[in-house]
Amino acid sequence: MTRAIQHVFSDARLLARALTHRSFGADNNERLEFLGDSVLNCVVAQALLERFPGAAEGELSRLRANLVNQQALFEVALELDLGASLRLGEGEARTGGHKRPSILADAFEAVVGAVFLDGGYDAACGFVTENLGTRLGAIDIHAPAKDPKTRLQEWLQARRHPLPRYAVVTITGEAHAQRFEVECVIDVLAVRTSGVGSSRRTAEQDAAEAAWRRLAQSA
């Protein structure tokens, strides 16, 4: 795991704690996650300020939110294969906690916090930049600011189509770490897409994004 993270820990206990979910025991990663969240936001904010010197505060906040949301951090955690090293309680392990977006995103933030405590801000900055660098480089400041549900709704309304229907298909996981699967259905266009997320809202946004992409490709 240390090789994948590319930081040699002076205190290996910090990495072990960062990869320990609260379901495993009291010595877990929640405090490191709290710290890592702040460090992550600071590093990303600095990177955005340097890259977009003329951007307004609102634009920078939107860009940062897109870079550090749960889905983005979940994807980074997958790239680092954090799930393979997570320590989970029996219940979480049995229900697939090592693949759950919320748990993996939190683990990545906890690792950021652990790197910060072990090596300082420069080490944490390097770790974040290494793992988010591609996403930082791909940012389009002119991309639509509207969320997927709003964008889809306005597209349909402009064409006098009925609004989409959203329905929860499944809810899995324990109460504190649920996974929602939601369908977005546009009957008049015969479009049906699905989305997943740690809440109904995020799952609906995911499904709306899929519907929007399908409609945009066929337009």
- Catalytic residue from among 37, 59, 147, 174: 37
- Catalytic residue from among 92, 109, 204, 206: 109
Which strand (E) or helix (H) includes residue 198? none
Q: Please confirm, yes or no, whether 37 is among the known catalytic residues.
A: yes
Q: Please confirm, yes or no, whether 109 is among the known catalytic residues.
A: yes
DSSP letter at 23 equals T
- Kindly list the distances between the CA atom of residue 194 and the CA atoms of 144, 165, 209, in Å, as whole numbers in the listed order: 22, 11, 9
d(CA 211, CA 148): 9
Residue 19, class by beta-carbon neighbours within 10 Å (0-12 exposed, 13-18 middle, 19+ buried)?
Answer: buried
DSSP letter at 86 equals -
Tell me which residues are annotated as active site.
Answer: 37, 109
